[in-house]
């Protein structure tokens, strides 16, 4: 199950990246404005979204989730929830992209904090549930 290690590694790297994003958002809150360095780091986060997170989602949707349901049909409810969360996160990433482009502090904070909470919860849910569901197969 080397593929599961790859997914775990992606998750851990994204959790670290979310910590950095949180620090940037806290600075925006504190200053009440968005420094150019913060915008640059937010743009870098969006690059990671495009190059790492979205392909990771796609791999989950095309390979991991179908494999999980095939091995354990009881996982179908979990998979439906994960797919729905992916759709919501796609929308969150788009809102964040718009906020970064506009450079508006309130929009950046709102959209960024939504990603922080939702993506972290999503990752932790997968880390907790997928091994259990695979063992139940």
Domain boundaries defined on the chain? 2-135
Task: Please check whether residue 93 is in contact with residue 118, taking contact to mean a CB–CB distance below 8 angstroms.
Answer: no
**Spatial distance between the Cα atoms of 78 and 113, rounded to a whole number of angstroms:** 24
CB-based contacts of 71, cutoff 8 Å, min separation 6: 134, 137
Task: Please check whether residue 133 is in contact with residue 14, taking contact to mean a CB–CB distance below 8 angstroms.
Answer: no
Residue 40 has pLDDT above 90, yes or no: yes
CA distances from 65 to 23, 56, 111, 136 (A): 32, 12, 27, 15
Q: What is the DSSP letter of 49?
A: I
Question: Residue 38 has which token pair?
Answer: 């913060």
CB count in 10 Å sphere of residue 28? 20
The DSSP H or E segment spanning 1 is none
pTM: 0.90
User: Up-side HSE of residue 129: CA atoms within 13 Å toward CB?
Assistant: 19
Q: What is the pLDDT of residue 4?
A: 72
pLDDT in tens, 83-137: 999 999 999 999 999 999 999 999 999 999 999 999 999 999 999 999 999 887 6
Q: What is the pLDDT of residue 3?
A: 66
- Share the mean pLDDT of the chain: 93
pLDDT in tens, 56-90: 999 999 999 999 999 999 999 999 999 999 999 99
Pick 2-135's CATH classification: 3.30.750.24, 1.20.58.60, 1.20.900.10, 1.20.120.520.
1.20.120.520
């Amino acid at each position: 199950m080397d593929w599961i290690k790859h997914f775990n590694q992606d998750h851990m790297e994204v959790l670290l990246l979310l910590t950095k994003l949180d620090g940037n958002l806290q600075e925006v809150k504190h200053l009440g404005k968005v420094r150019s360095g913060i915008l640059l780091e937010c743009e870098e986060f969006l690059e990671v979204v495009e190059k790492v997170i979205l392909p990771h989602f796609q791999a989950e949707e095309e390979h991991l989730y179908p494999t999980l349901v095939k091995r354990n049909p009881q996982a179908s409810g979990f998979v439906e929830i994960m797919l729905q969360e992916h759709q919501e996160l796609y929308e969150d990433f788009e809102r964040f992209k718009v906020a970064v482009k506009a450079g508006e502090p309130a929009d950046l904070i709102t959209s960024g904090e939504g990603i922080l909470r939702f993506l972290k919860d999503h990752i932790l849910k997968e880390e907790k549930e997928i091994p259990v569901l695979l063992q139940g197969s």
